[in-house]
Amino acid sequence: MASAQVTGSTVDRVGAAGPAERRGRARDWAEIQERMLVPLYLDVYRRLEVGAATSLLGVGCRSGLSLLLAEGRGAQVAGVEWDEELRELAAARGLQVAPGGSITRSAHPVPRAAHSLVTVFEQSPTPALVAWSAQRTLPGGLLVVADRGPAERCGSTAVLEVAHRHAPADVGDAPAPGGLESLLSAAGLRPSASGRVACPFAYPGLDSAVRGLLATGLFDGAEQRAGAALVAKELEEALHPFLQPDGSVRMVDEFRWAAGVRPEGASCG
């Protein structure tokens, strides 16, 4: 599970959940859930040799851990995030993260016009979000998109059934083979690299696991339709197979990513 509703982008996530549903979720993301995706971030940065020569823009960067990791490798970093509470947490980490605005507009929300690397670590990014992000990639630069892997390679598949039951339109399947590359090609980019990485989701207990998973935004639609109490109860039940003898919770998801190059002199989107 990544950081947005499976069928949409950060824009959809923020629009789907009102203030009451999102209250406290930003901090739960930053304190519990965000670290689960560190293997994905590090694999991308290692494979693409992110370093001092990299200017990186994180689209949908949430509270900014992915930016901090790139900054630790010497990169110049900036972010775009639609959720105000997440932006505040990123700012508290000393990061420059701007509001996202509308993905239908071409105006760039951060001072630098384009970047050598743009990342969209959103689960199932929409074609519109990918095209918007491609416009912020320098000619010869790279855009990275990511998604959860096949259902049989993800422990969270059983947990996501809670969202499927109550809001089936909000949760789709993992992309078919080549799906991420097709998104990049449709945005005018040339697919150039890809990878897959296991991300262990480990929590000290059931309460922490439920809070972390709810912070992903994947269950917002289910909460709106069935109520927060019922969704939390069903999440606890779905997590019982992943309980360890010491009371902790552990499951492993596979994530896939693909990178595309913006051709020199090409107009993307």
Q: How confident is the model at residue 6 (pLDDT cuts 50, 70, 90)?
A: very low
Region of 69 on the Ramachandran plot (φ > 0 left; ψ -120 to 50 alpha; else beta): alpha
* Average pLDDT value over all residues in the chain: 87
Is the pLDDT at 20 greater than 50? The verdict is no
What are the helix (H) ranges across 191-268? 206-214, 220-226, 228-239
Percentage of residues of the chain with pLDDT beyond 70: 83
Highest mean pLDDT among 14-28, 91-105, 180-194: 180-194
User: Taking 90 as the threshold, does the pLDDT of residue 83 lie above it?
Assistant: yes
- Using 50, 70 and 90 to split pLDDT, how confident is the model at 10? very low
pLDDT grade for 172, boundaries at 50, 70 and 90 = low
Least confident range of 80-89, 105-114, 253-262? 105-114
Q: How far is CA 264 from the centre of its chain?
A: 28
**Spatial separation of the C-alpha atoms in residues 80 and 66, rounded to whole Å:** 12
Class of domain 10-150+173-200+256-261: alpha beta
Pairwise CA distance, residues 174 & 166, whole Å = 19
Amino acid at position 171, single letter: V
122 in Cβ contact with 4 (< 8 Å): yes
